[in-house]
Amino acid sequence: MADDQYTQRDPRDQYPRPDEQRGQEQGHPGTGSAMTPEPDYGEKTYRGSDRLADRKAIITGGDSGIGRAVALAFAREGADVLLSYLEEEQEDAERTAQLVRDAGRTAVLVPGDLRDEQHCGHIVERAVAEFGRIDVLVNNAAYQMSQDEGLLGISTEQLDRVFKTNIYAMFWLCKAAVPHMRPGSSIITTSSIQAFQPSPELMDYASTKAAIVNFSKALSADLVGKGIRVNSVAPGPVWTPLIPATMPKEKVESFGGQVPLGRAAQPAELAPPYVFFASQESSYITGEVLGVTGGQLLT
């Protein structure tokens, strides 16, 4: 391939800026194929180098967005992948699975709702049955819904869905997976710039992302004696189906313009940090949060 993730480019115009974005409102969970431009997952640009040779990974929210980009990158680095996603995301999940298989690796599809503790246990059981072990657990699935009224617009039903998807599921998955992870394994969570610079319209979501940061730090201390590392990736604005599915049209069309680099990230730009945390290259790093924010500070 002529250009890949190592090709030097100006990050300001490497991808479309907000004035090039068109993202009609979609029903949740949304699909990337209906977005203009369609998100870049790294299909044409990600070049692997066996950094995750024969690793066995679980990726939640693996159907699209960051999850798809991470699945593609993991596969091209030599990993087999189990993808967790909602049943209504089956078509997108099949596309992700094909990218994994095109890289010569195994893709296992497990649809279902992470708000169900038994389903979280089933995901881990399926991974162990298929792979024999778990080397990497990527807790990436999340739910958000923007509310212009802030606190007064957040229903108990929404609050419950956000916390169960973003926090409870992460806790259940980690608890189920750790007994099947050996020294050298890695747990990676997805936090957010929202944990550090919360937006009023995403108050409940931002609260869960702050909790993920603290959970990751505490879990890293808990598991260091087992030789299992825990780190978190904190994205800023990323052009994924979650955006038109949870934000009004006018905000979609300006999405990402507020960061110093002047644009939203593409999912392909998030994959390398996950590969790094999953690989042996980050062997001396645990309990850390890596911001991928376009220049926004994690303060």
| pLDDT one digit per residue (tens) for the chain, 299 residues | 458 888 999 999 889 888 766 666 667 666 776 777 788 999 999 999 999 999 999 999 999 999 999 999 999 999 999 999 999 999 999 999 999 999 999 999 999 999 999 999 999 999 999 999 999 999 999 999 999 999 999 999 999 999 999 999 999 999 999 999 999 999 999 999 999 999 999 999 999 999 999 999 999 999 999 999 999 999 999 988 777 776 777 778 788 889 999 999 999 999 999 999 999 999 999 999 999 999 999 98
Cis peptide before 111, with omega less than 30 degrees from 0? no
Choosing from 41, 46, 85, 205, the catalytic residue is 205
Interatomic CA distance for residues 63 and 286, integer angstroms: 27
| Among candidate residues 118, 45, 104, 91, the one with its CA nearest the CA of residue 266 | 45
Task: Say whether 274 is catalytic.
Answer: no
pLDDT (0 to 100) of residue 26: 65
pLDDT (0 to 100) of residue 23: 60
What ranges do the domains of the chain cover? Answer: 47-292
pLDDT (0 to 100) of residue 16: 84
pLDDT (0 to 100) of residue 213: 98
Residue 250 CA: distances (Å) to CA of 48, 115, 290: 37, 31, 29
Name residue 81's beta-bridge partners: 57, 107
State the DSSP H helix or E strand holding residue 174, giving kind and residue range, or none if neither: helix 169-177
- CATH superfamily assigned to domain 47-292: NAD(P)-binding Rossmann-like Domain (3.40.50.720)
- Gyration radius of the chain over CA positions: 18
CB 225 within 8 A of CB 261: no
By CB neighbour count within 10 A (0-12 exposed, 13-18 middle, 19+ buried), where does 299 fall? exposed
